[in-house]
Structure 1
């Protein structure tokens, strides 16, 4: 089990490194991207365009920066639950949250493709295009889940987990990039929204880390309660007599 966890951690680290290498532009690309940002004209926000931008941000934020991480948390929590009915409920909530997230992301993609400039000359658009593909790939991988005990179950679980966590991490990062791009192109401050996103991400990360150790905390409580009950049983089983400090007086006739 420990060896499997080490392999999973190693593969996750390798996947993150590969993803960063794919996303991080080269020196020439960064120079051209900076020139394109400088040459890009500021957006003239009409009421219609402003509404479309806000709707696009809400759809993608709700999808990749909230519902998908919540789905990951739900399935992680189910691993520490003993009740079969609760596990089934958490699984269905996980599936429902991911389906809604895919629908919202698809709506955001349709909105951006049909109404915005799609030159794909900046990081936000390029990462977003790749993200849409992986968002649709993830539910397909989920529906192809092998049965428990099958030989391919471990490989499927690792791929499904890496893809889900990767989509969440890259999606949140792209929301940050989108807010920064909005501020640059429109001249309007996105600082309150960036702060709100940071608070949300910190809360989700805290819950993710705590629930991973919550089973250990519960097990320690159960062991402490069992030890206390055992100690009470031993104390009740043995007869305790109060100390008698009075000396007996023997009357001799």
Structure 2
């Protein structure tokens, strides 16, 4: 029974920290290109908030499971990092709820704090998934290399999308310029081939 609880604990935290939270971050990064679009911006913001709330709820369930079922002596890194993440998630949730208006003077300070907490929670969450897999291996002696590899591939995909989002407007502009150049070249050829 304990083995099932450990697996469920890990699955809930992967679902939260390894899936919902990164997807929520990727979604909110889309706002950089849609600042002026009211309806689309609202959809993006609500999607981000929904994903982060679901992530928060799953972390809370997994934390309650941990407190109720596991030895929490905080003698290993996985437990210590988990506690730090849980505290940071509560702070992050508070900053999300108490967001100042766009015109507010405190908006840039709020944004910096919210962004920094988000990065911290995300990085610690990724690290803690790896330490959790290591703890599972240590406790059960079961091989976790497939899960480590699968999670590493997942993180690489997220990073690729994250970086692609940053460069996507540039890529679209180059493509547009190349298409314009091709059309111009074809028109010139057609003109001279008459």
The TM-score normalised by the length of structure 2 is 0.90
Aligned partner (choices 106, 113, 118) of residue 159 of structure 1: 113
Instruction: State the shift of 1:105 in Å.
Output: 0.2
What's the counterpart of residue 130 of structure 1?
Answer: 84
Match 1:176 to one of 125, 130, 134? 130
Distance 1:86 1:228, change over 3 A: farther
Give CA deviations for 1:200-247 in whole Å, capped at 9, x if unaligned.
111111100111110111233344455666x48x96xxx8796xxxxx
Gaps of 5+ in 2: none
The answer to whether the Cα contact below 8 Å between 1:59 and 1:105 also exists between their aligned partners in 2 is: yes
**In structure 2, how many angstroms separate the alpha carbons of the residues matched to 1:241 and 1:223?**
24
CA contact (8 A) 1:72 1:165 kept: no
SS at the partner of 1:67? helix
What's the counterpart of residue 8 of structure 1? none
Distance 2:97 2:16 in 1: 19
Q: Alpha-carbon deviations, 1:51-103, whole Å to 9, x = none?
A: 10011000111111111111111011221236432222111110000000000
Deviates most, 205-214 or 86-95: 86-95
Correspondence for 2:31? 78
Instruction: Report the equivalent of 1:186.
Output: 140
Higher helix residue share: 2
Q: How many residues align?
A: 192
1:106 matched to which residue of 2?
60
Secondary structure of the corresponding residue to residue 79 of structure 1:
helix
Over alpha carbons, which structure has the higher Rg?
A: 1
Tell me the residue number matched to 1:59. 12
Q: Structure 1 CA distance, aligned partners of 2:39 and 2:91?
A: 29
Deviation per residue, 1:172-211 (Å, 9 max, x gap): 1011001011111211111111111111111111100111
Cα gap change, 1:51 to 1:222, in 2 (>3 Å): same
Unaligned runs of at least 5 residues, structure 1: 1-47, 243-253
Output the TM-score relative to the length of structure 1. Answer: 0.70
